[in-house]
Amino acid sequence: MASEAPSETEVVGYLKTLSNWGRWGSDDELGTLNLITPAKRVAAARLARDGVPVTCARPIVTDISPDTTFQVLRFMVDSGEGRDTAPPERLLQRRGASEFIGMVFHGFTVTHVDTPAHFFWEGQIYNGRSCNLIASREGAQVEAVELLHDGVVSRGVLLDVARTRGVRWLERGEGVMPADLEAAERASGVRVEPGDILLARTGNFARRGAEGPVNPLRAGSPGPHAALAPWLRERGVAMWGSDTHNDITPTPYPSMGHPFHIVALVGLGLWLIDNMNLEDLGEACAERSRWEFLLTIAPLRFRGATGSPVNPIALF
Amino acid sequence: MASEAPSETEVVGYLKTLSNWGRWGSDDELGTLNLITPAKRVAAARLARDGVPVTCARPIVTDISPDTTFQVLRFMVDSGEGRDTAPPERLLQRRGASEFIGMVFHGFTVTHVDTPAHFFWEGQIYNGRSCNLIASREGAQVEAVELLHDGVVSRGVLLDVARTRGVRWLERGEGVMPADLEAAERASGVRVEPGDILLARTGNFARRGAEGPVNPLRAGSPGPHAALAPWLRERGVAMWGSDTHNDITPTPYPSMGHPFHIVALVGLGLWLIDNMNLEDLGEACAERSRWEFLLTIAPLRFRGATGSPVNPIALF
Amino acid sequence: MASEAPSETEVVGYLKTLSNWGRWGSDDELGTLNLITPAKRVAAARLARDGVPVTCARPIVTDISPDTTFQVLRFMVDSGEGRDTAPPERLLQRRGASEFIGMVFHGFTVTHVDTPAHFFWEGQIYNGRSCNLIASREGAQVEAVELLHDGVVSRGVLLDVARTRGVRWLERGEGVMPADLEAAERASGVRVEPGDILLARTGNFARRGAEGPVNPLRAGSPGPHAALAPWLRERGVAMWGSDTHNDITPTPYPSMGHPFHIVALVGLGLWLIDNMNLEDLGEACAERSRWEFLLTIAPLRFRGATGSPVNPIALF
Amino acid sequence: MASEAPSETEVVGYLKTLSNWGRWGSDDELGTLNLITPAKRVAAARLARDGVPVTCARPIVTDISPDTTFQVLRFMVDSGEGRDTAPPERLLQRRGASEFIGMVFHGFTVTHVDTPAHFFWEGQIYNGRSCNLIASREGAQVEAVELLHDGVVSRGVLLDVARTRGVRWLERGEGVMPADLEAAERASGVRVEPGDILLARTGNFARRGAEGPVNPLRAGSPGPHAALAPWLRERGVAMWGSDTHNDITPTPYPSMGHPFHIVALVGLGLWLIDNMNLEDLGEACAERSRWEFLLTIAPLRFRGATGSPVNPIALF
C-alpha cells in the first residue's frame, strides 16, 4: 500500500493540480455539489424500490467518552416529573416538556457535514477566499452550511472497504486508498459516477461498538488517504462520507495535519460527512447485494455555520 | 366558521373518542407513523419527476426577535480571523474553524419535530404512559425522537389554505378548519390518504417576513383548530406540519391551553412539525400545479429528546 | 475512628434530633447563616492585620478530566485574532473580545456554594418545604442563592485536619470526624464559635495536583463524616466548607447516598462550600500560625439557582 | 459641560500621554491594581465598623429584555418536581437538584469585571501586547481574569454623581465629568486616593427599575466620559466601576466607539466593573453619611476569560 502513497510535496501539489477554483465561476461556493443535476436526482429516486429508509447517523449522546472533545448537552427546560400529581392550578403551564440541546458537532462523535469553510490552507478557503471571512462573531460569512438549504439529494454509493478487504475493520493508522475503492467497485458491481455521494465503510464505527471508544489522537484512527484526491476528482464525486473523522491519525503528512480535509475542502470544494454510522447501511446493501440508493442529507439551516449535525437517510 | 367549532367538552372528549391508545399494541411508541408502509414510500419516490429538492425549514439565526423565547447560540471554537497571517509555528493547529451551537428548538422560531412525549394530559402521554418518564436528568425515556432514526419518508401533501381562501395569510387567532382542508383538496385535485404527511400553509411565515416578527403570546397566531382531529384520524394522516406553532393563539380552549397539541400528540400519537417555512414549497407546488411530492424528514438522533430541529426536504 | 461512627438509624435520626426547622421562624430560608451577626463581622474584620488576601477557589478550566461530570464551556464571542491587521473599515466593531461561559457548577471540580434547596429528604427541603418548589422551569423558588445577595462575611476558621493528623492528605473513603476537628483546634489554638465559617482541609486538592484527578465515584474520596453534625450544631457553625465534594465516597450510609449533605442542608439548614482549594490558605495560616481570618463569600446573584460558583477570599 | 470635553485627537492622545505601559515593568499584567498595597487593605478593613455587608451587583435573570444582547441560561439538570412521590427504588438518585448556568457576561445587564484584555487599540492591549493573544480557542492568554485569583480588596469610595447633581439619574447621552467627581468629593467629604476602587453612581440602574429597561444602543446611556482619564490617573484609582456599561451612548468619539474602555483598559491598564447596582450601596452610604467602605471583589477563577460576573461586597 505504501508504494501508492504520494509524497508530502505531491499532496501539497494537489492543491494546485486538482484545484477546482474557478471551475464553476469565481463566485462559486458549492464546489463539487455543482455536479449533482436534476436528472441525477430523478435517476436516484428510481432506486427506491423497496421503500425502506436507513439511517447513516450515529446516536447523539451526552456521555463523556475517550473520543469526546466537547461534551454534548441536553438539559430539560420543563420535564414531566411530578406533573401527574401537580396541583390543578399549576397544571395548565405544566403540560409540556422541552429541552435545550447544544454541541460542538465537529470532532469525533457526531455525524456531521463539513462545509469548505471548515478548513484553510495558506490563509485561503475554497475558491480563493480569505479565511478571515470565517469570523468570531459572524461565523462563516461564505461557504456556510446554509447554502445547502434545499438539502443534498443524489445517488448514494456505498463502497465497503472493510468487507472487500475481508476484515472486520481497518486498523488504526491505515488509509483507504484508490485501490480499495476500485476493488470495492469490482466486488459490488457498481461504478462511481459524476454527482454521486460516495460513502466508504472502514468498519471504524463497528469497532467502537465492539471494543469501546478510544481517543483517536492517542490511539489512532483509519481514514481516507489523501492519495484518493485524484481519483475522487476524476470520478466527479459530489460529496464524500465515511465512518471515520475523515483523516488518518496519526497523520502521514505532519506539516499538513489533516491532508484529506485540506485537499478535499480547500482544493476540490468537496463537502464531507464525518463520523457516519455505515453499519445499518452496510447490512442493508449486503442483504440486497445493491450498493446504490437514494440518499438525502438535510443539514440544519444554521446561519453562519461551518457544518451541521445530520442524519443522512438512504432510501432503498 | 364558529358553527364548526366543537365545545371544550367535545375536544376533551376527543382524547377518548379519537384515541389511538392500544391501536398498534400496548408497547407502541410510533403512533400514526405506523401508517407509513414501504409501498407508500415507493409510490412517494415515484413523485420525484423533476429532480428538484425544496426546503421546508426556516433559517436558524441567533438574533433575538419578538418571537424568541430562548435565544439560539452559535459561538466559534476556532475562527479563521488572522489565520492568514499567523506565525508559521502556530499554523498547524490553526487551519480549521468550528463552532458550538445550542438551542431550545421548541418555541416559535425553529422548524422542529414534536414527539408524543412533548405534551401530557392528566399525567399521561400517548398510549397511557406516565409523564414521569420524561425526566429531568434522562430526558424522554420513551417516545423520544431517537425512534425516528431512519427518518420519516412518505408522500407529502401541501394544502395551501391561505391560497384557497384567497388571502395572503390567515389572521392571527384564526384556525385552520376541516372545511379549509377539504376546499384545498378540491382546489388542488389531491386527496389526503393514509400514511401521508400533511402540510398546511397559512401564510404565517410569509407574514413574518413581510411585516416582521411578533410575539404570538401577545399578538396571537393562526394555527390548526382542534376541530381537525376527527378529520385527521379518519384520513389516516401520519404526520402534520404547518407554518405556525400548531395551536391557535389566543387559545379557543383556555382550560386546555394547547388543544391541538394535546389531542394530536397525546390522543392520536400524531407527530407534529412546528414552525415550517412553506413559502418555497408553496411556490414549487403552484408552479407545477402539483401538491404532492416525496418528503424526507431526518431528525437528529438525539437520545432522550422530545423533538429535533429539522430541515424537511420535498423532492419534486 | 470506627467506634465514633453512628449507625445509619442514628444519622437518619439527626434529621429530627438536630433539626433547625422552625428555629428562626417558619418562614426562614437562611438557616445557620442567621448565626452571623453584625458584631461577628466587625470582629472578623479586625483580623485583617497584614492586608493579604488569599483565594479559597480552584481554577475553572474547560478540560475534561476523570472527575468531570459536565464539561465547563468557554467560547469566544469575539476574539482578538487578526484584529491587528483587520481592514480599517471593520476595525470599529472589532476592538473588543468577549466570551460565553457555561457550567454545571455542582459536581467535583468547581468551587461552589450549595443552598439548602440542593438536597431533599422524604420530599422536603430545609424548614419543611416541598421539594416540588425546586422546579424544572423556575429553578429554586425558595432557598435559592439569591438570598445571599449581600454575600456571606464572617470569621473564617481553617482546621487543617491533614496537617494535624500528620499526613499529606486523608485517604479516599476516610471521613473527617469530630475528634479531628477538636485535635485541630488544640493544635492551632483556635476555638470554633457561633457564626464562624468553618473550613476543613483534608489535602484532597493537593493530592489531585500531585497525582492527577480521579473519578470520586470510582476511586473514592475523603469527606466530612455525618458524625460531625451534632458537633457543628453545638458549636453554631454558620457555613461549612472543605476541599472535598463534602461527602465520603463510597458512602458509609448507602440508603442515604449523601448523608452529610442531607443532614447539613435539609436538617440544619447549614450552607456548604464544595471543592475548595485550601492549599494557599493552609500555607498562609501556617506561615502566620494564625488560623482565623476575615472571610468573604460573594455568590453570583443568580435567580433561582441552587448554588453558585464562588471564589471565597480570606483576608489576613 | 461641553467646554470640558477634550477633542477626539486629545482622547486618542491619552493613549500616549497617560500611558502606564512599562510603569510596572514590561511583564506587568495587573496595571493599576498594582496601586493596592497591603497597608491600603488593612486601612480599608478598619472601615468595617457596623458589620453590614451590601451588594453592588444586579440580579442575574434569564428573561430577555430590551438591553439583552445574549440571553442568560439556567436549565435544571435535576429538579425536585415529583421527587416527593417518586417510587422508592429511584429515590436514591433523585434527592438532589442542580443546574447548568451560562452567559455572555459582557453586555448591558450582568455586573462584571473587565480585564485589560477586553479591548484593543491599533492591535494592542495594555502594556503593548498583541491582541492576537486573545485567541479563539485559548481565550485570553494574557491579562485574563485568573490574575485576580486572590480577589481585589481595597477601600471602596462611592461618588454619587446623580445625588450631587440633585437629579434622580443622569440623562442618556450624558457623561460623568471630572467636575462631577470633584463636586461629589466635596459634598461627601471624601477624597479619592491611590489604590482606591472608585464607584460612580449615575442612577442608571434606578432608572431601569423605575421605567423599565431600554436598549442602550438605540435609546442611549449615560456613562463615564473619556475626559475622566487624566483625573483617574492623577488620583491613582486602582479600579473603576459604575452603574452603566462604562461608556456614553451614543459615543462622543465615533472613530473610537468605546473611548472610556479603550483609554482605561488599553492605556492605563485600569480594570473596570460594568453594570453595577449602586442603589443599595448609595442608600447605605447616605444613611451613614459615609462614602468609604471595605470592598471585596471576587471574580471567578475562570481560565482564559476577559472578565467575570461578580458580586462586589461592600462592608460597612
CB contact under 8 A, A83 and D82: yes
Closest CA to A103 of C209, D150, C161, B77: B77
Cell (9 digits) for D114:
473587565
B85, B100, B136 ranked by CB distance to C82: nearest: B85
With beta carbons under 8 A apart, name residues in chain D contacting B64. Answer: 64, 68, 71
With beta carbons under 8 A apart, name residues in chain B contacting A37. Answer: 51
DSSP chain A: -GGGPPPHHHHHHHHHHT--TBTTBTT---GGGGG--HHHHHHHHTT--S--EEE----B-----TT-SS--EEEEEE--TTTTTS-HHHHGGGSB-EEEEEE--SSSSS-EEEPGGGB-BTTEEGGGEEGGGEETTTEESSS-GGGGTT-EEEEEEEEEHHHHHTSSSPPTT-EE-HHHHHHHHHHHT----TT-EEEEE-SHHHHHHHH----HHHH-B-EE-GGGHHHHHHHT-SEEEESS-SS-BS-S-TTTSSHHHIIIIIII--EEEES---HHHHHHHHHHT--EEEEEE----BTT-SEEE---EEE-
What average pLDDT does the segment A75-80 reach? Answer: 96
Chain A, chain B: beta-carbon pairs less than 8 Å apart: 313
With beta carbons under 8 A apart, name residues in chain A contacting D136. Answer: 136
C76, C107, C111 ranked by CB distance to D136: nearest: C76
C121, C135, C296 ranked by CB distance to D298: nearest: C296
B40, B42, B80 ranked by CB distance to A120: nearest: B80
> Best residue in A70, A81, A131, A136 to probe D by mutation, most D CBs within 10 Å?
A81
CB contact under 8 A, B73 and C100: yes
In this prediction, residue C2 carries a pLDDT of 45
**What's the pLDDT tens digit per position in B43-72?**
999 999 999 999 999 999 999 999 999 999
C70, C93, C137 ranked by CB distance to A77: nearest: C137
CB contact under 8 A, B71 and D82: no
Distance CA A200, CA A202 (A): 6
**What's the pLDDT tens digit per position in A261-285?**
999 999 999 999 999 999 999 999 9
D84, D86, D100 ranked by CB distance to A75: nearest: D100
Q: Which residues contact B243 (CB under 8 A, 6 or more apart)?
A: B200, B201, B202, B203, B204, B205, B206, B275, B276, B277, B278, B279
- CA D138 vs. chain centroid, Å, equals 24
Three-point CA angle B135, B270, A278, nearest 5°:
75
Crossing angle of helices D204-211 and D279-288, rounded to 10°: 120
Radius of gyration of chain A (CA): 20
Distance from CA of B90 to the nearest CA of A (A): 11
Give A7's pLDDT tier (boundaries 50, 70, 90). very high
In this prediction, residue D2 carries a pLDDT of 45
Q: Are C127 and C21 in contact (CB under 8 A)?
A: yes
**What's the pLDDT tens digit per position in A137-153?**
999 999 999 999 999 99
Give kind and range of the element (H or E) at residue C207. helix C204-211
Q: Does the pLDDT at position B12 exceed 70?
A: yes
Distance CA A228, CA A237 (A): 11
- CA C187 vs. chain centroid, Å, equals 23
> Best residue in C81, C83, C136 to probe A by mutation, most A CBs within 10 Å?
C136
Give A1's pLDDT tier (boundaries 50, 70, 90). very low
CB contact under 8 A, A137 and C77: yes
Quote the percentage of chain C above a pLDDT of 90: 95
Give kind and range of the element (H or E) at residue D199. strand D197-201
What average pLDDT does the segment C278-293 reach? Answer: 98
Side-by-side strand order, sheet with C271-274 = C53-55, C313-315, C292-297, C152-160, C197-201, C239-242, C271-274, C112-114, C307-309
Tally of residues, chain C = 316
DSSP state of D70: S
With beta carbons under 8 A apart, name residues in chain A contacting C73. Answer: 70
Burial of B88 (0-12, 13-18, 19+ CB in 10 A): exposed
Amino acid (1-letter code) at residue D246 = N
In this prediction, residue B50 carries a pLDDT of 98
> Best residue in D71, D81, D99, D106 to probe A by mutation, most A CBs within 10 Å?
D81
**What's the pLDDT tens digit per position in B185-244?**
999 999 999 999 999 999 999 999 999 999 999 999 999 999 999 999 999 999 999 999
Cα-Cα-Cα-Cα torsion C172, C176, C177, C179, nearest 10 degrees, comes to 110
Buried b (16+ CB within 10 A) or exposed e, A57-82: bbebbbebeebbbbbbbbbbbbbbbb
Give C3's pLDDT tier (boundaries 50, 70, 90). low
Q: Are D288 and D51 in contact (CB under 8 A)?
A: no
Task: Please name the residue of chain B whose CA is at the shortest distance from the CA of residue C134.
Answer: B136
**Residues of A near D (CB-CB distance < 8 A)?**
73, 75-77, 79, 81-86, 100, 136
In this prediction, residue C31 carries a pLDDT of 98
Q: Does the pLDDT at position B90 exceed 80?
A: no
Q: Does the pLDDT at position C312 exceed 50?
A: yes
> Best residue in D136, D141, D217 to probe B by mutation, most B CBs within 10 Å?
D136
In this prediction, residue C1 carries a pLDDT of 42
Residues in chain D predicted with pLDDT less than 50, given as ranges, are 1-2
Q: Are C296 and D55 in contact (CB under 8 A)?
A: no
**What's the pLDDT tens digit per position in D244-303?**
999 999 999 999 999 999 999 999 999 999 999 999 999 999 999 999 999 999 999 999
Give B2's pLDDT tier (boundaries 50, 70, 90). very low
CB contact under 8 A, D81 and A83: yes
With beta carbons under 8 A apart, name residues in chain B contacting A105. Answer: 101
Task: Please name the residue of chain A whose CA is at the shortest distance from the CA of residue C65.
Answer: A64
Q: Does the pLDDT at position B28 exceed 90?
A: yes
Distance CA C11, CA C262 (A): 10
Distance CA D259, CA B37 (A): 66
C55, C93, C122 ranked by CB distance to D149: nearest: C55
With beta carbons under 8 A apart, name residues in chain D contacting B78. Answer: 136-137
Distance from CA of A265 to the nearest CA of B (A): 11
Q: Are B262 and B140 in contact (CB under 8 A)?
A: no
- CA C99 vs. chain centroid, Å, equals 27
Distance from CA of D15 to the nearest CA of A (A): 26
Q: Does the pLDDT at position A159 exceed 60?
A: yes
pTM above 0.90, yes or no: yes
Q: Are A112 and A310 in contact (CB under 8 A)?
A: yes
CB contact under 8 A, A137 and C78: yes
Cα-Cα-Cα-Cα torsion D191, D196, D198, D199, nearest 10 degrees, comes to -110
Amino acid (1-letter code) at residue C246 = N
CB contact under 8 A, A97 and B303: no
Distance from CA of B301 to the nearest CA of A (A): 5
With beta carbons under 8 A apart, name residues in chain C contacting A70. Answer: 71, 73
Burial of C283 (0-12, 13-18, 19+ CB in 10 A): exposed
CB contact under 8 A, C51 and D38: yes
D73, D82, D136 ranked by CB distance to A82: nearest: D82
Q: Does the complex come out with an ipTM higher than 0.95?
A: yes
Cell (9 digits) for D94:
433523585
CB contact under 8 A, D75 and A79: no
With beta carbons under 8 A apart, name residues in chain C contacting D296. Answer: 53, 151, 153, 296, 298, 313, 315
Buried b (16+ CB within 10 A) or exposed e, C190-223: bebbebbbbbbbbbbbbbbeeeebbebeeebbbb
Distance CA B135, CA D77 (A): 10
Distance CA C118, CA B94 (A): 42
Q: Does the pLDDT at position B118 exceed 90?
A: yes
With beta carbons under 8 A apart, name residues in chain B contacting D137. Answer: 77-78, 93
Give A3's pLDDT tier (boundaries 50, 70, 90). low
Give kind and range of the element (H or E) at residue C153. strand C152-160
In this prediction, residue B87 carries a pLDDT of 73
Q: Are A110 and A101 in contact (CB under 8 A)?
A: no
D79, D85, D86 ranked by CB distance to A79: nearest: D79
Q: Beta-strand (E) ranges in B68-215?
A: 73-78, 98-103, 112-114, 124-125, 129-130, 134-135, 139-140, 152-160, 175-176, 197-201
**What's the pLDDT tens digit per position in A36-58?**
999 999 999 999 999 999 999 99
How, if at all, do strands A313-315 and A112-114 pair?
Answer: unpaired
With beta carbons under 8 A apart, name residues in chain D contacting B70. Answer: 71, 73
Distance from CA of D73 to the nearest CA of A (A): 10
CB contact under 8 A, A298 and B300: no
A83, A134, A315 ranked by CB distance to B131: nearest: A83
Cell (9 digits) for D173:
447621552
Task: Please name the residue of chain D whose CA is at the shortest distance from the CA of residue A94.
Answer: D81
Task: Report the neighbours of A using a cutoff of 3 or more CB pairs below 8 angstroms.
Answer: B, C, D
